[in-house]
């Protein structure tokens, strides 16, 4: 007995869920655009993603290799098996698509692009993976401690500008009959089998990175969001040569080899399919585009230790900024892309705890607020200048203007136009200064107490020539001064696109995002506990080593944490 359309329907469902952000458990950041998707689907489509989604809920893609527009097509392809014709130009830019497909280890898509290019008589590099420019060593590929991918490759960036997003996603366009989507890979016989939200407390992503962090973990009933051994770095991209590998850390050398796909495995039988292109596996429809990559390449991870902690992580997450985030992420943001409720500049920091209380309401409203809500246009990730609006499933108020300026809410059809517009927002708009003094929230508490550490005038004059006009502080270099001066701004340029909280530094916002997403790259080898910061792990390790480097000079009490010594000292000095 066999349901003929089972796989097709399943994919359609998944695609619809992606459109609504339902059960999406991973965010892919491409430039300033955020795409939400399902780890399982990505993992079933690409060995590259498979290795990455094991560890991360937030994946940054190299913008030299894939632009938001192209990635959107890639994502559509993953979910539908079709490459949709673009709007401007009417045909997808197969060159950039090929670059992206190779980078992301999507051999079928790459093969399709090659066929298309071949047919069009356009040359494409027959080097490794057929990616233009890959003959050169990569500028550098490294995986940050947070396992955020920052692989960099040359080329492609000049091409991607020519590609504009297609108007509609597949399900609203081409006929269902065009789909050939059979059963997913063997390892994951049912795509939904891995998508379960068993840990509602873990940040944003559908119960966070819980079990669905990867095939094997789920099968083992493990929960990455709680504890796991130190991260295995994701497999490097498919295009790394010896030179590239040389730039990786030792641990990355030990990574499983990338899927041996690429050009060698690309059978190119017959002519190119008609547009929208779709994929059939070499063995016909039953060997569909999602099934090809599953198989021996999958790397089951070793068993993870589960040490019960008294404090449940869900509880710990509950103390974080917005415990309701997962709810928002599950239901609140349509179109499969992170909207944000990012407040426009000038607004006070988003009242996160209120949002928590009103989480339900927000999540229900976010579909509307994405375009017109009080929070203004969706906040962006990273640079926070704009957000690329993935569309196609629901009407969007901005129409064709997919790139939205956060400060003013204007929409633009292209990132170039938006960037040009963003330039018109002068720093004066952001740098709100009140005649000689800085108002607003005022300095942070610790900032007030930092006067003690302020350098002496003489020192400042000699060593720190760059003086802040708003306070007495001075710095060695102008960049640091600029960074410091942001602390005086009334506005905070970097909004969290999940809870809308505003930050003065991008790094702080990124770190904050980690807590939403449950990204805890630093694992204790002793107990498996994970941390968002290296420093925390270092601090934590003292629990195991028994080291107590902080000693009270009054009573001789020793502490593992300096902050505990400080609070202890307060006990000594407080009147009571």
Partner DNA sequence: CTGGGGAAGGGGCCC
Partner DNA sequence: TGGGCCCCTTCCCCA
Report the interface residues with DNA, using CB under 7 A. 144-146, 148, 150, 310-311, 315-317, 319-321, 349, 382, 443-447, 449, 473, 475-476, 480, 483-484, 486-487, 492, 501, 503-508, 510-512, 515, 529, 531-536, 538-540, 542-543, 555, 557-564, 566-568, 571, 576
CA dihedral 550, 553, 558, 563 (to 10 degrees): -50
d(CA 61, CA 64): 9
Nearer to DNA, 264 or 452 (CB): 452
Are the beta carbons of 56 and 430 closer than 8 angstroms?
Answer: no
Q: Shortest gap between Cβ of 542 and DNA (angstroms)? A: 7
d(CA 45, CA 289): 7
Q: Shortest gap between Cβ of 459 and DNA (angstroms)? A: 10
Are the beta carbons of 213 and 54 closer than 8 angstroms?
Answer: yes
Nearer to DNA, 13 or 538 (CB): 538
- Closest CA relative to residue 155, chosen from 92, 275, 68, 66: 66
Largest Cα–Cα separation, the chain: 86
Q: Shortest gap between Cβ of 402 and DNA (angstroms)? A: 21
Q: Shortest gap between Cβ of 440 and DNA (angstroms)? A: 11
Q: Shortest gap between Cβ of 489 and DNA (angstroms)? A: 9
Q: Shortest gap between Cβ of 575 and DNA (angstroms)? A: 11
For residue 473 the two structure tokens come to 């502080």
Nearer to DNA, 55 or 512 (CB): 512
d(CA 290, CA 15): 13
- Closest CA relative to residue 413, chosen from 229, 240, 107, 161: 161
Tokens 């593992």 found at: 560
Pairing assessment for the beta strands 530-531 and 474-475 based on DSSP bridges:
unpaired
Nearer to DNA, 117 or 321 (CB): 321
> What is the SS3 assignment for 157?
helix
Nearer to DNA, 153 or 559 (CB): 559
Nearer to DNA, 19 or 524 (CB): 524
Q: Shortest gap between Cβ of 484 and DNA (angstroms)? A: 3
Q: How far is CA 78 from CA 23, 180, 331, 371, 564, in A?
A: 17, 12, 22, 27, 50
For residue 135 the two structure tokens come to 């003959």
Nearer to DNA, 66 or 117 (CB): 66
> What is the SS3 assignment for 490?
coil
Residue 269 is given by DSSP the state -
Q: Shortest gap between Cβ of 454 and DNA (angstroms)? A: 9
Are the beta carbons of 231 and 216 closer than 8 angstroms?
Answer: no
Pairing assessment for the beta strands 26-30 and 58-61 based on DSSP bridges:
parallel
d(CA 199, CA 476): 46
d(CA 480, CA 458): 19
DSSP per position, 370-433: HHHSTT-SPPPSTT-SEEE---SSS--TTTT--EEETTT--EESSHHHHHHHHHHS-HHHH---
Q: Shortest gap between Cβ of 520 and DNA (angstroms)? A: 7
Q: What are the residues facing 550 on neighbouring strands?
A: 559
Q: How far is CA 382 from CA 29, 178, 280, 506, in A?
A: 8, 37, 37, 7
Nearer to DNA, 336 or 500 (CB): 500
Q: Shortest gap between Cβ of 170 and DNA (angstroms)? A: 32
Q: Shortest gap between Cβ of 487 and DNA (angstroms)? A: 3
Q: Shortest gap between Cβ of 488 and DNA (angstroms)? A: 8
Nearer to DNA, 317 or 370 (CB): 317
Are the beta carbons of 329 and 319 closer than 8 angstroms?
Answer: no
Are the beta carbons of 122 and 257 closer than 8 angstroms?
Answer: no
Nearer to DNA, 6 or 544 (CB): 544
Are the beta carbons of 349 and 495 closer than 8 angstroms?
Answer: no
Q: Shortest gap between Cβ of 207 and DNA (angstroms)? A: 16
Q: Shortest gap between Cβ of 561 and DNA (angstroms)? A: 5
Nearer to DNA, 444 or 461 (CB): 444
Q: How far is CA 547 from CA 498, 524, 542, in A?
A: 38, 16, 5
Nearer to DNA, 111 or 523 (CB): 523
For residue 155 the two structure tokens come to 């080329």
Nearer to DNA, 116 or 160 (CB): 160
Nearer to DNA, 377 or 382 (CB): 382
Q: Shortest gap between Cβ of 464 and DNA (angstroms)? A: 7
Nearer to DNA, 395 or 458 (CB): 458
Are the beta carbons of 155 and 99 closer than 8 angstroms?
Answer: yes
Are the beta carbons of 124 and 95 closer than 8 angstroms?
Answer: yes
């Amino acid at each position: 007995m066999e349901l003929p359309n089972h796989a097709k329907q399943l994919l359609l469902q998944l695609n619809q869920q992606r459109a609504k952000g339902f059960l999406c458990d991973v965010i892919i950041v491409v430039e300033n655009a955020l795409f939400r998707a399902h780890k399982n689907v990505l993992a079933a489509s690409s060995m590259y993603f498979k290795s990455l989604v094991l560890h991360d809920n937030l994946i940054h893609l190299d913008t030299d290799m894939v632009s938001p527009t192209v990635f959107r097509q890639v994502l559509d392809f993953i979910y539908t098996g079709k490459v949709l014709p673009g709007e401007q130009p009417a045909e997808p830019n197969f060159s950039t698509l090929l670059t992206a497909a190779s980078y992301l280890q999507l051999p079928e898509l790459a093969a399709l692009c090659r066929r298309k290019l071949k047919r069009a008589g356009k040359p494409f590099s027959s080097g490794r993976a057929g990616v233009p420019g890959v003959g050169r060593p990569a500028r550098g590929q490294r995986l940050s401690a947070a396992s955020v991918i920052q692989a960099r490759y040359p080329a492609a960036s000049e091409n991607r500008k020519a590609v504009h997003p297609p108007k509609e996603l597949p399900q609203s366009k081409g006929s269902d009959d065009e789909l050939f989507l059979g059963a997913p890979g063997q390892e994951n016989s049912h795509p939904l089998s891995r998508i379960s939200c068993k840990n509602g407390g873990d940040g944003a992503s559908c119960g966070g990175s819980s079990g669905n962090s990867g095939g094997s973990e789920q099968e083992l009933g493990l929960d990455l969001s709680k504890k796991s051994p130190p991260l295995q770095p994701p497999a490097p991209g498919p295009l790394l040569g010896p030179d590239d590998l040389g730039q990786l850390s030792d641990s990355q050398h030990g990574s499983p080899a990338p899927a041996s796909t690429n050009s060698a495995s690309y059978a190119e039988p017959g002519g190119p399919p008609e547009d929208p292109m779709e994929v059939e596996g070499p063995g016909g429809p039953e060997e569909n585009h999602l099934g090809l990559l599953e198989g021996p390449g999958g790397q089951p991870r070793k068993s993870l230790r589960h040490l019960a902690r008294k404090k449940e992580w869900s509880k710990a997450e509950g103390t974080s900024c917005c415990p309701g985030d997962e709810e928002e992420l599950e239901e609140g943001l349509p179109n499969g892309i992170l909207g944000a409720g990012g407040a426009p500049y000038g607004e006070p920091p988003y009242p996160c705890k209120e949002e928590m209380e009103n989480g339900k309401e927000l999540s229900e409203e976010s579909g509307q607020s994405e375009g017109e809500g009080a929070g203004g246009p969706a906040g962006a990730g990273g640079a926070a200048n704009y957000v690329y609006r993935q569309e196609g499933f629901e009407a969007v108020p901005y129409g064709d203007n997919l790139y939205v300026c956060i400060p003013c809410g204007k929409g633009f059809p292209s990132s170039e136009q938006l960037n040009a517009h963003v330039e018109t927002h002068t720093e004066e708009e952001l740098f709100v200064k009140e005649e000689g003094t800085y108002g607003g929230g005022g300095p942070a508490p610790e900032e007030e107490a930092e006067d003690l550490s302020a350098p002496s005038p003489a020192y400042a004059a000699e060593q720190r020539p760059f003086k802040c006009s708003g306070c007495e502080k001075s710095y060695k270099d102008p960049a640091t001064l600029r960074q410091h001066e942001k602390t005086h701004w009334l506005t905070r340029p970097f909004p969290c696109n999940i809870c809308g909280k505003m930050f003065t530094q991008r790094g702080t916002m990124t770190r904050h995002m980690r807590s939403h997403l449950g990204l805890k790259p630093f694992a204790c080898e002793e107990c498996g506990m994970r941390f968002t910061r290296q420093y925390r792990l270092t601090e934590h390790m003292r629990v195991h080593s028994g080291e107590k480097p902080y000693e009270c000079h009054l009573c001789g009490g020793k502490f593992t944490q300096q902050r505990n010594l400080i609070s202890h000292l307060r006990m000594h000095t407080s009147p009571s």
